[in-house]
Structure 1
Amino acid sequence: MTNPVYHFEIPVTDMERAVAFYQRVFGFQLDRQTVDGYEMAFFPRTEDRPGASGALAKGHVYTPSHSGCILYFDVEDIDAVLRLSEAEGAKVLYPKKDIGAGGFVAEIEDSEGNRIALNQVPA
């Protein structure tokens, strides 16, 4: 096993707002479904490749937060994603930082109040 995480769920309180935010900031389409009574919006997943994918999730067991796990989203251009996220109302919680061979990282607060991170690997 090379990548032990298979699936994650990001809590949301307003699914319309959250889907719009993630689609505009990251540039991909989310697949909306109801699963076990919970409203979900799934991120793209390639079945024949390693790595995790997940969903935005709305329901009584989902509470947006700054604490707990921090999910890192790979991005090609961290500066562009930071600009897009701020234009969508996100707060920068941890500005872009050079981490050497690991590239660059930053953290933002999404439309729902979750702390998420961005990672740009070196070219």
Structure 2
Amino acid sequence: MMGNPVVHFEIPVTDMDRAVAFYEGVFGYRLTRQEVDGYDMAFFARADGAAGASGALARGDVYRPSKEGVIVYFDVPDIDAVLRMASSRGASILYQKKDIGAAGFVAEIEDSEGNRIALSQVRD
């Protein structure tokens, strides 16, 4: 039996304090700071046995924020509320909320570090 193929992600940051404040403020998460192999990391909560993946914010010489490359989608209960919160914290909206039919809604923002981050809200 095969599970979800992604088990962990790392979002590059240049200013960890700013990035932690952004993600905690926009999404309401509590991140846990830790140094791993000399890199400054802030981990999202992980629910073992639950669907989906978790990850961390990561700062170091190999981590470069970008709007190009892989896009991480965050599952949110209210995409409009998250877009408002992100905008109030200085985020640019890169892709306005779009209805994608039975799957719900998506949007994309630029986080505090310059990364392209996607939002996904399932339809009730």
How large is the RMSD of aligned CA atoms in angstroms? 0.6
Task: Give the unaligned 5+ runs of structure 1.
Answer: none
* TM-score with structure 2 setting the length: 0.97
Identity %: 71
Number of matched pairs: 123
Where does residue 46 of structure 2 map in the other structure?
A: 45
Distance, in Å, in 2 between the alignment partners of 1:117 and 1:22 is: 13
Greater than 3 Å deviation, 4+ residue runs: none
Q: Structure 1: which amino acid aligns with 2:5?
A: P
Give TM-score, length-normalised by structure 1. Answer: 0.98
Paired position in structure 2 for 1:57: 58
Unaligned runs of 5+ in 2: none
Whole-Å Cα distance in 1 between the matches of residues 3 and 73 of structure 2?
Answer: 17
Q: Which residue of 2 aligns with 1:105?
A: 106
Matched, 1:35 2:36: yes
1:25-82 CA distance string (max 9 Å, x none): 0001001000000000000101122321000000000000010000000000000000
